[in-house]
Amino acid sequence: MRDKGEYLFTSESVSEGHPDKVADRISDTVLDAYLTADPYSRVACETLVTTNRIILAGETRGPGTVTPEYLMHLARLAVEDIGYDQEGFSWKNAHVECHLHAQSAHIAQGVDAAGNKDEGAGDQGIMFGFACTETPELMPAPLYYAHLILRRINELRRNNDKSVAGLLPDAKSQVTLRYVDGKPVGATSVVVSTQHQEGLDQAAIKAMLKPLIASTLPEGWMPGDDEIYVNPTGTFIIGGPDGDCGLTGRKIIVDTYGGAAPHGGGAFSGKDPTKVDRSAAYACRYLAKNVVAAGLADRCTIQVSYAIGVSKPLSVYFDLHGTGRDVDETKLAKVVNEMVNLSPRGIREHLHLNRPIYVPTSAYGHFGRTPDEERGTFTWERTDLAADLKRAFGR
C-alpha cells in the first residue's frame, strides 16, 4: 500500500463454517492426526466438501495406525465441532470418502536427509512474509478487523449467546478503510453476510450485528448506517457446503495479509512442514514481524525461494518500503540469515513445527494470532528476535 496521499483499501475474511474453511479444517485435522502419531509424517491432504459429501485425497507417509477409517471419523468430528447438522450437510449423514495414498518415492528421495545431504525443500516456489505497524499484532488493519468481526460472532455463536441467536456457521466479512499518508484513519464500509435460520429477516440481523461491529472497530471508525451492509442479498439460509462447494487452499489471501502484501501462490492447510509453501511462509512472517517489532522499520516484506530437494534458499529478499530507520536491507538479509537457518529443517526446528498444532490455523488467519506456549501454537508470531536485531543495528 502507498505511504502518501489518501486512498481506500479493502480486505475480506471468512468464518470457520465457510465451505473452503471447512475443507481447510478437515485437511489440517488429517495433518494433526499424522503428526500426533509420528512427528515426521509426510502429509499433503486436500479436501472437497459439498452437499452431504466429504472427499479426502492426497499423499501421505506415516504410521499404519492412522487408518482411512480413523481419518473419516475425524472428518465427521471436525464438521460437528464447526456446527453443521443441517439437512444438506450434517456430520452424521455426510458420505465420507478417503483417497489418500502413499507419497511418491521420487519426491521422498529429494526431500529426505541422507548421508551428507540435508533435508531438502518439498517443492520449488516463492514465499512471502509481511508485517506493519497498523495494529498491535503488526498486521494490516483491514484484514485484522475483518477477521475480528467474524471471530467475535463465532465465539458468541459457539457459546449460544442470545445476542446472535439464529446465526449459523457460514459467514463472510469485508472491511474498507480510509488511509491518509499510509495510516488507516477510519472505516468507510463494512460488509457482513451470515447464514441464518428461517424466521430472521435482514433488518433483525443488521440490528443484531451493528453493536458488535461498533465494538470491534476503534473508536470513531464506524461508518454511517448506509455503508454497513448486512446480508445484502436479503436472505442467506442455505449455506456451508450445501450452498457452495468447498476446497482446501482456496482462501490464501484471507489466510495471509488480505491483499496488502504479495503472495507466492501456495496454500497452507493439509501440508506438513517439509512443504515450504507453509513452513517458509511462516518463517518469513516471523522474521518480518521481528524486524518491525525491533523498530527497524514500519513495514517489512520478505521473499524467499526454494528448489525441490535443495536445503538452502535460493534467494532472500527484504523490502522495507522506504520506512527503514537507517537500516541497509542487504545487511539486514545477512544478519537474519545468521540468526535463523532458513533450510526446511532449520525452520522446522526453530519454530517447532513438527507438532499437531495446525487445526487452530485453519480459520481466521495464520498470522496476527497470539502464540500459546502451552499448546505450542503460532510460534511464528513470537518476537523473540527483536532484541538481537536491535543490538545488531546498534539500537
Which residues are part of a known binding site for L-methionine?
59, 103, 244, 275
C-alpha cell at 243: 450452498
Provide the grid cell at 311.
Answer: 536445503
The binding site for K(+) comprises 46
List, as residue ranges, the binding site for ATP. 18, 170-172, 244, 250-251, 267, 271
Q: What is the DSSP letter of 223?
A: P
Say if 19-109 and 125-133+249-392 have the same CATH topology: yes
How many other CB atoms sit within 10 Å of the CB of residue 161?
A: 12
CA distance 27 to 4: 41
Q: Is 199 exposed, middle or buried (0-12, 13-18, 19+ CB in 10 A)?
A: exposed
Structure confidence at residue 118 (pLDDT): 62
- Extract the C-alpha cell encoding 162: 442470545
**How many angstroms separate the Cα of 20 from the Cα of each of 23, 25, 219, 225, 323?**
5, 9, 33, 30, 36
What is the rounded distance in angstroms from the CA atom of residue 395 to the CA atom of residue 377?
A: 30
Domain at 6-15+140-239: CATH architecture: 2-Layer Sandwich (3.30)
Residue 247 contacts residue 55 (beta carbons within 8 Å):
no
Q: What's the rounded Cα separation, in Å, for the pair 195 and 169?
A: 7
Q: What is the distance between the alpha carbons of residues 142 and 212, in angstroms, rounded to a whole number?
A: 16
Cell of 130: 509481511
Query: Binding site membership for Mg(2+): which residues?
Result: 20
Owner of C-alpha cell 507438532 = 355
Report pLDDT digits (tens) over 21-35: 999 999 999 999 999
Which residue numbers belong to the known binding site?
Answer: 18, 20, 46, 59, 103, 170-172, 244, 250-251, 267, 271, 275
Q: Among 228, 223, 149, which residue's Cα sits nearest to residue 186?
A: 223
- Residues of the chain with pLDDT below 50 are 114, 116
Provide the whole-model pTM. Answer: 0.95
Pairing of strands 167-180, 183-196: antiparallel
The Cα 61–Cα 253 span in angstroms is: 29
In this structure, how many other beta carbons lie within 10 angstroms of the beta carbon of residue 228?
Answer: 18
CB neighbour list of residue 96: distance below 8 Å, 6 or more residues apart: 53, 54, 55, 56, 72, 75, 76
| Residue 105: per-residue pLDDT | 55
pLDDT of residue 123: 81
- Match domain 19-109 to its CATH number in 3.40.50.10320, 3.30.70.2190, 2.30.130.10, 3.30.300.10: 3.30.300.10
Res 3: pLDDT? 72
Backbone torsions φ then ψ of 323, nearest 5 degrees: -105, 0
Residue 104 has a pLDDT of: 63
The confidence score (pLDDT) of residue 113 equals 56
CATH 3.90.480.20 fits 125-133+249-392, yes or no: no
* Helix intervals (H) in 217-265: 240-243, 252-255
The domain segmentation of the chain, as residue ranges, is 6-15+140-239, 19-109, 125-133+249-392
Q: Is 67 exposed, middle or buried (0-12, 13-18, 19+ CB in 10 A)?
A: exposed
Q: Are 109 and 117 in contact (CB under 8 A)?
A: no
